[in-house]
Amino acid sequence: MTEKSQKNRRRSDIPAAVSSNSDELAIELIKINKHFGPVYANRDIDLKIAKGSVHGIVGENGAGKTTLMSILYGFYTADSGKIKVGGKEVKIKDSSHALQLGIGMVHQHFMLVDNFSVLENVILGAEDSVLLAPSKKKARIELARLAEEYELEVDPDALIEDLSVGQQQRVEILKALYRGAEILILDEPTGVLTPAEAAHLFRVFDTLKKQGKTIVLITHKLREIMAITDEVSVMRRGAMVKTLITKETDPSELAELMVGRSVLMEVKKGIANPGDIKLEVRDLEVSDDIGVKRVKGVSLNVRAGEIVGIAGVSGNGQSELLEAIAGMRKPDNGKVIVKGQEIAFKGDDSAAELRLAGLAHVPEDRHEHGLVISFEQWENSILGYSDDDKYGKGLYLSVKACKNEAKKQIEEFDIRPPNPLLKTANFSGGNQQKIVLAREISRDPDVFIVGQPTRGVDIGAIESIHNHIIAMRDAGKAILLVSVELDEIRSLSDRIIVMFDGNIVGEADPDKVNEGELGLLMAGISSQDKDKQEEAFVKDKIANDLANKGAV
Amino acid sequence: MSARKPLPRWADVALLPVLNLTLAFFISGLVVLMVGENPIEAMSILVYGAFGYGEGLGYTLHFATNFVFAGLAFSIASHAGQFNIGAEGQAYIAGLGAIFVGLALDGTHWLLVLPLAMLGAGAFGGLWGFIPGYLAAKRGSHVVITTIMFNFIAASLMVYLLNYVLKEPSNMAPESRSVVGAGKMPQLREFWDFFGYSPVNVMLFVAIIALFGMFFLFWRTELGYKIRTLGQNPKAAHYAGISNSKIIMISMTLAGAMAGMIAINEVLGVQNRLVIDFVFGYGFVGIAVGLMGRNHPIGIALAAILFGALYQGGQELAFMMPAITREMIIVIQALVILFTGAMEGLFRTPLEIFFTMIDVNKNGGGVPVSSTGQALVGSESDQRRQKKENGGGVGVGSESDQRRQKKEKQEG
């Protein structure tokens, strides 16, 4: 059996401290299914996590990692499947039940009461008397012990709102340990941490592991996986792709598994004839909603008649870059120049300024941004362009003109059912995407930026969407494409730019680059490093880096 | 079976409000029964009082005029995703604009006074809507909080102004000077004796025009399209290059201006002077009107007439049935507001389940359900349907009973 052989392999690989109890499984998941509406968040998930190990779960945003862990923590109930904790089958009813079973979770967004003290937060929900004082007294002693044991010092009387993010996370971990957690699940724990804080967190992991605790680490940062995990499971689109021993894999393999290597789609396209620069981005810096810098000084050009693809594991700043170029996110620094016109980014309607400058934008998420789902199709066919005189002069909006335009778009893009009066929510995902594409392409823009053009779209629609994009290129438009589908990037782009951690780390020719090289770039490892190679080296280097930064 | 379908449009627009209303009247009937009166008789008095004769109808329309404006004030903001509960204060402040124009142009002609009073009242009411809109758009404060606070500010401000600024020295009461000439809005009774002494005036037509205006604004102009986009999906509006902050400010200003029209109807149409508390809660009823009217002009018109009828018919009822006091009338009005406004979603979920089941039955073959599951679904929905038909039958019966009785009474 493969499971057995894997286990055997494990035993031989892992240092003695861990292997002593590696026969025991802390958690076993068997055929877990969970769906929200028609969408499967988790499909037939099998997972084994050894006791006393650090187990990484990687996957892109939306791969289903968090849902899976929420099932384990009792936030959601699985539609079907079995959960075994410590060898016994259990049905986890809610999070307090999970805690009883020794499963604690540290969420991506902390679940702390801001104006309570550390001590109050730790005992919240775990008070064992009517009066607070005895619980507090007990917790204070226990906290001191835990702090010493695991290097988790925090002032028990400090208010949460006065603590740094890293310290708040410590409180979350303390909360779980105080409740007797043997298995700690951490969801993207380093997303909000500085490198020094992250390094400290990893040292804490080591101590926890030595004490026999099991750690499940959810992340999409491959560096961390390589540095601290014993085993790693890769998820993609709700399914568990593979579980690997960290030592036996490398970041590029993981990146490939995460992004998926489906059959290369054949897209027929001629040779590009790049013309003048139509879109120019200079030293762009962009922060996300909570102020974390996501794009750290990106410069790029897109010329007329070429498709520039941005590849990268999602969450490395591509989305923010796209939103900034489209005028939806104000850059902290840098310039966006469309056809020689610098965009001012004044007020909260820069998207309109960019549209006037001749840029059209297909957003990454059609439901969140691209469509008003409760509108009828014809109303969505003019979204962003309602001021155009084509749809009624002055302030007047001619419903007739809008509907004619909608019918034209429906016909040209074969949107089904061909009914402009149908509510947008009632179209299928692929047709909704076509509604967005039809609207943007029919404006005949000189600069076209596209995010995830085929996300959640069926094969037939993918082909027609790709053909439309190629046709635009051949008509001399400048196209910037962001996609998590590596194949899509490779088959459509004339140039590939790879983003990692908010920076452009490389550029490649899609006809010459192979997937391994792209994978390495996407994992943030430049090709020179690869010559010296050895995953162990990489691991050490990263660990050193982190430790050095921690020391500073 | 897990996904419920949204209601068909006709059920959402017509069936749901009718069900809510029926339940409200049913419980009101119980209240009437508890004080020892005949609920059916009470109902017929109420209906006759509201619609049965000219003066009653006049009053009903007068109240309805206020409710149309208040409902519009709520709905315009609501389309932009803002919950404006400040129509009360906006109308109150707008009284200043109305009375200033009325007094200043008292010696001219009402055709001149009306448009300028609309501008004046609209400006003051609009200002009172704009400030919460500005705070919401630029400072992120919630309009529910700010508008309710602005109601209090408006009330205190008006008491101050009426006591210390606008009061005539010779007058003891806190009220402004009266308009006596062209400042008064022409009363419909001046043209049709039919309306008796009721104060229904030219503002009724302004209200009707405003309803058409609302339709035109939201479904035939760029601004309305943008407001609706913002209300339905602010992120998509942002993507589309719509300035969310501007649209919020514009729609709150428009809402305030609409509430301001109440001031003309009351100050220049009834009181002929600015008095304390002339808005009388109309602004708050507007929330129920807007909710019940589904933010659509036709719905708002119908809901406004309903509440107008409740106000007028209720007064009649208090007069005719001494056991039913004025307070009791307020209870009945409150029940209607409760069931149609605050709890308007009461029947939504059951109805959605019901319609989804009908759908499943219709396209039974197309839905991948196991054979046993399908059978179960079928039997369940059949039961439900039967139950509903029974319920419906009873309802219709009692209604027609009422009508018959009323007819008998009228004949008698």
Express each pLDDT in A4-31 by its tens digit. Answer: 444 444 433 434 333 444 468 899 999 9
| Residue among A457, A497, A492 nearest A472 (CA) | A492
Residue A82 maps to a domain? yes
Q: Which residues have CB under 8 Å from B277's CB, separation 6+? A: B155
pLDDT band per the 50, 70, 90 thresholds, residue A514 = confident
CB contact under 8 A, A395 and B244: no
* C-alpha to C-alpha distance for A452 and A175, rounded to whole angstroms: 39
- Which two structure tokens, joined as six digits, stand for B213? 């205006």
CB contact under 8 A, A348 and B238: yes
Q: B251 near B124, Cβ under 8 Å?
A: no
* C-alpha to C-alpha distance for B88 and B85, rounded to whole angstroms: 8
Q: Report percent pLDDT > 70 for chain A.
A: 88
Residue A551 maps to a domain? yes
- Give tens-digit pLDDT for A452-476: 898 767 666 788 889 999 999 999 9
Residues A451, A439: one domain? no
Residues A191, A333: one domain? no
Residues A316, A410: one domain? no
Residue A345 maps to a domain? yes
Specify the higher pLDDT residue, A41 or A401: A401
Burial (CB count within 10 angstroms: exposed 0-12, middle 13-18, buried 19+), residue A365: middle
CB contact under 8 A, A387 and B229: no
Residues A234, A270: one domain? no
CB contact under 8 A, B224 and A397: yes
Q: H or E element: which one contains A257?
A: helix A251-259
* Last residue of one domain, picked from the residues A416, A443, A470: A443
Residues of B in contact with A351 (CB under 8 A): 238-241
Domain extent at residue A505:
266-358+445-552
Which of A353, A361, A397 is closest, CB to CB, to B221? A397
Residues A302, A354: one domain? yes
Please identify every stretch of chain B with a pLDDT value under 70, giving residue numbers as ranges.
1-5, 360-412
CB contact under 8 A, B225 and A352: no
Residues A288, A228: one domain? no
Residues A82, A10: one domain? yes
- Give tens-digit pLDDT for B233-279: 999 999 999 999 999 999 999 999 999 999 999 999 999 999 999 99
Q: A217 near A228, Cβ under 8 Å?
A: yes
| Residue among A427, A377, A385, A374 nearest A407 (CA) | A377
The CA R_g of chain B, rounded to the nearest whole Å, is 24
Which of A327, A352, A370 is closest, CB to CB, to B236? A370
* C-alpha to C-alpha distance for A271 and A134, rounded to whole angstroms: 76
- Give tens-digit pLDDT for A259-302: 765 544 567 788 888 999 999 999 999 998 878 889 999 999 99
* C-alpha to C-alpha distance for B292 and B288, rounded to whole angstroms: 6
Count the domains in chain A. 3
**How far is the alpha carbon of B361 from chain A, nearest alpha carbon, in Å?**
20
- Which two structure tokens, joined as six digits, stand for B115? 């448009």
Residues A329, A401: one domain? no
* C-alpha to C-alpha distance for B53 and A219, rounded to whole angstroms: 74
Q: Which residues have CB under 8 Å from A490's CB, separation 6+? A: A264, A309, A496, A510, A513, A518
Q: In terms of CA atoms, which chain B residue is nearest residue A401? A: B220
Q: H or E element: which one contains B151?
A: helix B143-160
- Give tens-digit pLDDT for A122-170: 888 777 777 888 888 888 998 899 888 888 888 889 998 888 888 888 8
Residues A527, A457: one domain? yes
| Domain residue spans of chain B | 1-37+348-405, 38-320
pLDDT of residue A431: 87
Q: A383 near B273, Cβ under 8 Å?
A: no
Q: B89 near B355, Cβ under 8 Å?
A: no
Which of A38, A363, A374 is closest, CB to CB, to B239? A363
Residue A116 maps to a domain? no
Residues A271, A404: one domain? no
CB contact under 8 A, A38 and B222: no
pLDDT of residue B1: 37
Residues A193, A206: one domain? yes
Give mean pLDDT, residues A532-538: 47
Which of B219, B240, B243 is closest, CB to CB, to A347? B243
In DSSP notation, A191-215 reads TT--HHHHHHHHHHHHHHHHTT-EE
Residues A471, A439: one domain? no
In the predicted structure, residue A441 carries a pLDDT above the cut 50: yes
Q: B109 near B283, Cβ under 8 Å?
A: no
CB contact under 8 A, A372 and B245: no
Please give the distance of CA A311 from its chain centroid, rounded to a whole number.
Answer: 14
- Give tens-digit pLDDT for A204-251: 899 899 888 999 998 877 788 888 999 999 988 788 989 999 999 888
* Last residue of one domain, picked from the residues A407, A425, A443: A443
From residue A44, alpha-carbon distances to A74, A257, A527, B237 in Å are: 18, 17, 37, 38
Residues of B in contact with A381 (CB under 8 A): none
